[in-house]
Amino acid sequence: MLKDLVSPESASAENTCAGCGLSIKDRFYLLAADRAWHGQCLRCCRCSQPLDTELSCFCRGGNIYCKEDYCRIFSTTRCAKCGDGLSSSELVMRAREMVFHVTCFSCTLCGAPLSAGDTAAIRGGQIFCGEHYDADILQLERWDESFF
Ligand SMILES: [Zn+2]
Ligand SMILES: [Zn+2]
Ligand SMILES: [Zn+2]
Ligand SMILES: [Zn+2]
């Protein structure tokens, strides 16, 4: 958790909001990423979701992110098709060490969406359904659905 509600007693003289650049005259303000913010100015830089009521926010390179966006952008595990990072609450398709978003998991050739229990082959981030894989080069895997 990076932020605290700060009361004027513990605050230094004048505070400038890191979001809007105006001075903070409110009795209470938020402290995040070592800077002060109006409650309504602390928003995710990607989705603009207000974070003043969230339990935690995340900071990287001076920008503030909600948990979802932070995980999506900075997660080390990425969907093998679209390349987005996967966050803990997302539903994914997996087989062995390969992971895809459920919504990304469809055959490259026919576009057929695949679901848990289906078999599909993968090559270079491309997905081939049971009908369109090349048996000489590709091996079919059985895929399971789970929360990441
Ligand atoms: Zn502000
Ligand atoms: Zn966000
Ligand atoms: Zn994806
Ligand atoms: Zn297909």
pLDDT in tens, 50-101: 998 876 789 898 889 998 888 888 888 899 889 888 877 788 998 878 899 9
Q: Who wins on pLDDT, 51 or 11?
A: 51
Alpha carbon 143 to its chain centroid, in Å, reads 23
Q: Which ligand is nearest to the CA of 104?
A: 3
Q: Which ligand is nearest to the CA of 114?
A: 4
Q: Quote the CA–CA distance of 90 and 33 in Å, as a whole number.
A: 26
Domain range annotation of the chain: 1-74, 76-145
> What spacing in Å lies between the alpha carbon of 133 and ligand 3's midpoint?
20
How many alpha carbons lie under 13 Å from residue 12 in its C-beta half-sphere? 6
Please give the full DSSP string across 71-136, using - where no structure is assigned. HHHH-SSB-TTT--B--TT-EEEEETTEEEEGGG-B-TTT--B--TT-EEEEETTEEEETTTS-TT
Architecture of the structural domain at 1-74: Ribbon (2.10)
> What spacing in Å lies between the alpha carbon of 69 and ligand 2's midpoint?
5
pLDDT of residue 148: 75
Rounded to 5 degrees, what angle do the CA atoms 60, 7, 20 make? 45
Helix/strand/coil for 69: helix
pLDDT of residue 1: 47
R_g of the chain, CA atoms, integer Å: 22
pTM summary value: 0.61
Q: Which ligand is nearest to the CA of 24?
A: 1
pLDDT confidence bin for 6, thresholds 50/70/90: low
Architecture of the structural domain at 76-145: Ribbon (2.10)
Taking alpha carbons only, the member of 92, 81, 95, 101 closest to residue 148 is: 92
